[in-house]
Amino acid sequence: MTEEDKVVETLEREWNRCVSGGDWSEISKLYTVDALFFGSKARMYCGHSEISEYFADVPKGYLRDTIFFNRRVVRIKSDVILSAAYVTFRVNDAGRDEERLFRITFVLVRTTDGWKIAQHHASPRDF
């Protein structure tokens, strides 16, 4: 496993911990202060407060787990890594456990506080 793969895998693991635990107060810390985020809603979210706002609207217990797979990672500069993958979101929707498949991309940048997500885009895989 390359250094880049380890960086991305570590960040994905931490992101999953926050998401599956409903730890919305901690998730924004994984992002740069000016991060751009497209999730499953139409609106774009920018920065810590808006990203926290996005996740705060997710009902507690809705997101159970995430499984990242078929990841591709490219380091484009010493302090910038691109990651594209598929992710299965295990959710509980109205009392029913379901799986939702998405495509997901991260742009990671190295900051003085470690690697952070500067851009995040997720879209349903509908093909």
pLDDT digits (tens, 9 = 90+) for 78-96: 999 999 999 999 999 888 9
Number of domains in the chain: 1
Give the residue numbers spanning the domain of 113: 3-124
Residues 111-120: what's their mean pLDDT? 97
Shortest CA distance to 113 belongs to which of 24, 2, 11? 11
Cα 109 to Cα 122: distance, rounded to the nearest angstrom: 18
Q: Which CATH number fits the domain that encloses residue 73?
A: 3.10.450.50
Per-residue model confidence as pLDDT tens digits over 10-30: 999 999 998 888 777 788 899
Q: What is the pLDDT of residue 40?
A: 83
Q: Tell me the whole-structure pTM to 2 decimals.
A: 0.92
